[in-house]
Amino acid sequence: MPDRLHIGAHLSTAAGLAAVCRTAVEIGASCAQIFTSSPQQWRAKSYAQADIEAFHAAQAETGVTPVVAHESYLINLASSDPALLEKSRDAFDEELRRCGQLGLPAVVLHWGSYKGGTLDEGLDRLAESLTRCLPLADDLGVQMLLETTAGQGAYLGGDFGQYPRLFDRIPAHEKLGACLDLCHIFVAGYDMRDPVGYAAVWDDFDRTVGIHRLHALHMNDTEKALGSHGDRHANLGTGNLGTEIYRLLMHDPRLTDVPKILETPNGLEALAADLRTLREAAV
């Protein structure tokens, strides 16, 4: 059974939900992230009750928890295209229902793009989308975690200051959480590679977002440079973040219970190596 360092990875469900838990144990993970449906298709996936029960049994057997969801790449809850916006809202409702059906406690979501409009208009549409689905998320016991983004082009979420601007538009905003992606914030201009920068970035995050809202970390290295807005994940220690950042994160008592999830490339062996890097950083 895995230990409780709360380190894990995004894993495929191709072999079934129960296999996610077994794979997690094999690579040294104690938590996981999954797509509950194809991230590149609008067609929603359905699950047989037997598959759900097998998943819950595998979780109980392995201790792999939490397992969180990541929304589809097609969803844009800030879109200026009315048809795409409505389709995205319906698809996200379905995502929440699948999370509820599977007993997943949270879903990580991207802010979306305001292409064709203004940033404020995009924040308005995103706030309306989230306000609309908050009652359903509440009923299902699923928390929505807004992920920091690389801030490229017209994509929202590239600076911490957009969180309070969004929250101001949502009456029940205190129910929303956050997911911080190391690759994304670095290429958006936030440098945590040394103790001074690490402290400064967290002070900024706590002041603008609130560290109490942080319920997931994406522990990705990056191929791209500081402030480049290029979203290209790398395996730990092979990109531009170095290794000190992982030692700082793994020794930060504020983050002890926050799931630390890899979305790094090159398959299961590479994920296992990255998890060993995190384990060594925790010593």
Q: What is the largest CA-CA distance in the chain?
A: 51
The contacts of residue 129 (CB under 8 Å, 6+ apart) are 77, 78, 85, 88, 89, 92
User: For tokens 């020794």, what's the residue?
Assistant: 251
User: How much is the pLDDT for 2?
Assistant: 44
Question: Residue 3 has what pLDDT?
Answer: 60
**Per-domain residue ranges of the chain:** 7-281
Query: From the CB of residue 1, how many other CB atoms can be counted at a distance below 10 Å?
Result: 9
Q: Which token pair is 54? A: 């097998």
Q: How far apart are CA 115 and CA 127, in angstroms?
A: 16
What is the per-residue pLDDT for 75? 98
Amino acid at 3: D
The pLDDT assigned to 170 comes to 98
So what's the architecture of 7-281 in CATH? Alpha-Beta Barrel (3.20)
Q: How do beta strands 214-218 and 260-262 pair?
A: parallel
| 221-222 vs 233-234, strand pairing mode | antiparallel
- Cα-to-chain-centroid distance, residue 118: 25
Closest CA to 64 of 34, 36, 29: 29
By DSSP bridging, strand 214-218 and strand 106-109 are: unpaired
Q: What is the pLDDT along the chain (283 residues), one digit of tens a residue?
A: 346 799 999 999 999 999 999 999 999 999 999 999 999 899 888 999 999 999 999 999 999 999 999 999 999 999 999 999 999 999 999 999 999 999 999 999 999 999 999 999 999 999 999 999 999 999 999 999 999 999 999 999 999 999 999 999 999 999 999 999 999 999 999 999 999 999 999 999 999 999 999 999 999 999 999 999 999 999 999 999 999 999 999 999 999 999 999 999 999 999 999 999 999 999 9
Q: At 260, is the secondary structure helix, strand, or coil?
A: strand
> Is the distance from CB of 37 to CB of 75 less than 8 angstroms?
no
pLDDT of residue 39: 92
Taking the chain, what is the end-to-end CA distance rounded to the nearest angstrom?
Answer: 19
